[in-house]
């Protein structure tokens, strides 16, 4: 009888250790997610402040002709790299493209009414294509 309880106790101890290891893994994952969420909040706050400043100053969007869109995104990609290096953050492509879209309008190659400029999704895809992902 004593061996049975000793064996059960040892087994229970092993189960608790395994449970503790799994809980630590989940905690690490949660902390990483919280860090990413905190960075996303900071990026969104910056985007909101930029947009509010532009609206308050009544600034017009800069229009980029379609012929210069490719070279613009080359430069934007370089700026993205410099910002990430200086801020020591993983900037999200989408937040970076939100900022670009608040300040610039990109002419479309198609000349249809109400389709003169590229939408956000197209700007985002141009940027991702330049980044190679």
50-96 pLDDT, tens digit each: 778 877 887 777 888 888 888 998 888 888 888 888 877 777 788 88
Q: Is 69 in the same domain as 133?
A: yes
Q: Is 71 in the same domain as 101?
A: yes
Q: Is 53 in the same domain as 65?
A: no
Give SS3 for 88: coil
State the DSSP code for 60. Answer: P
Average model confidence (pLDDT) for the chain? 84
Q: Which domain holds residue 82?
A: 60-133
To the question of pTM greater than 0.75 for the whole model, the response is no
Q: Is 19 in the same domain as 30?
A: yes
CA atoms of 1 and 79, how far apart (whole Å): 72
């Amino acid at each position: 009888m004593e061996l049975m309880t000793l064996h059960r106790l040892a087994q229970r101890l092993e189960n608790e250790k395994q449970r503790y290891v799994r809980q630590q893994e989940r905690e690490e994952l949660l902390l990483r997610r919280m860090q990413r969420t905190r960075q996303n909040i900071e990026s969104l706050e910056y985007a909101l402040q930029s947009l509010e400043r532009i609206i308050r100053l009544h600034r017009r969007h800069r229009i980029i002709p379609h012929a210069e869109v490719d070279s613009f995104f080359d430069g934007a990609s370089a700026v993205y790299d410099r910002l990430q290096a200086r801020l020591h953050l993983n900037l999200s492509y989408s937040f970076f493209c939100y900022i670009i879209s608040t300040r610039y309008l990109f002419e479309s190659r198609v000349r249809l009414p109400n389709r003169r400029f590229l939408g956000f999704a197209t700007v985002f895809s141009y940027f991702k294509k330049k980044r190679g992902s």
